[in-house]
Amino acid sequence: MRRPILLTLAAVGGIIVLLGGTGLFAALSDTARSDTNSVESGALVASADIQMALASGGAAGTPWTCKTFSEDLTAAMTVTGPPGVDTGQVYPYCIRNVGSRTLSLSVLAEDINDIELGCTGDESLYDNTCGAGPGELGDFAEVQHQMIDCSNGDVLGLVQLLVRDNGNAPNPLGTVGPGETRCFNMGIYGSSATEVQRQAAQSDRLEWRFAWTGQA
């Protein structure tokens, strides 16, 4: 009978040893903690952000100077002269990309309004709504944007659409990279008008606004 008693005592002793070991480990450990950690993200430059400025453009070989940049181009282009005649007036401007992505530029004509101002000359022979209905300048008035090398004034290309058509589809103006400035010459051309169109469009006014877009 001694052997079972001894085995029982041995088992009890083992449990005591285990418990004592656990208590000893807990008594000899320690934990240290940091204060609250954090990661904070800073602001990023907008992916698409363009600014506009009027410019002083010279002859080919002459660098262009961009004036004060702002979010909108507040100056208006005003062309006065006989209908269908190229007056040669141009409006130089700059677009600067202050965003973080390369942008595809385009320009759209908005709020187009063709207005009759009066009935003059032989207009009544060609215009049944002379002096009363909508104007006819929109039938042939085209807007042109010359793409200019800002460093030397050279013409790199041009895009041209009827103002009326430009109200339905944007005119592409190429791309502009982050921190880059592009230069343009804007003008109105109507020299392709027929004589009938010129007569019907006299004493009229065509109004609109431009909206430039930079798409990343």
Cα–Cα dist 119/133, whole Å:
11
- The reported pLDDT for the residue numbered 29 is 86
Give the pLDDT mean for 19-47: 72
Confidence class for position 23, pLDDT limits 50, 70, 90:
low
- The reported pLDDT for the residue numbered 25 is 53
Q: What is the DSSP letter of 35?
A: -
Output the CA–CA distances (angstroms, integers) from residue 68 to 164, 179, 200, in the order listed. Answer: 30, 16, 40
- The reported pLDDT for the residue numbered 123 is 94
- The reported pLDDT for the residue numbered 22 is 52
Instruction: Give ∠ CA 89-91-94 in degrees, rounded to 5.
Output: 160
Phi and psi dihedrals of 91, rounded to 5? -125, 100
Which tokens hold the place of 107?
């320009």
Q: What is the DSSP letter of 23?
A: H
Tens digit of each residue's pLDDT (9 = 90 or more) over 176-191:
999 999 999 998 887 7
Cα–Cα dist 136/86, whole Å:
17
What is the model's pTM?
Answer: 0.76
Tens digit of each residue's pLDDT (9 = 90 or more) over 71-113:
988 777 788 888 888 888 889 999 999 999 999 999 999 999 9
Tens digit of each residue's pLDDT (9 = 90 or more) over 124-164:
999 998 988 899 999 999 999 999 999 999 999 999 999 99
Cα–Cα dist 128/192, whole Å:
22
- The reported pLDDT for the residue numbered 24 is 52
Sign of torsion over alpha carbons 78, 80, 85, 90: negative
- The reported pLDDT for the residue numbered 196 is 94
- The reported pLDDT for the residue numbered 26 is 57
Tens digit of each residue's pLDDT (9 = 90 or more) over 164-177:
999 999 999 999 99
- The answer to whether 136 and 129 are in contact (CB under 8 A) is no
Token look-up 């006299």 returns 202
- The reported pLDDT for the residue numbered 19 is 47
- The reported pLDDT for the residue numbered 51 is 96
- Can you say how many angstroms the Cα of residue 97 is from the centroid of all Cα atoms in its chain? 8
- The reported pLDDT for the residue numbered 10 is 47
Give the pLDDT mean for 57-78: 84
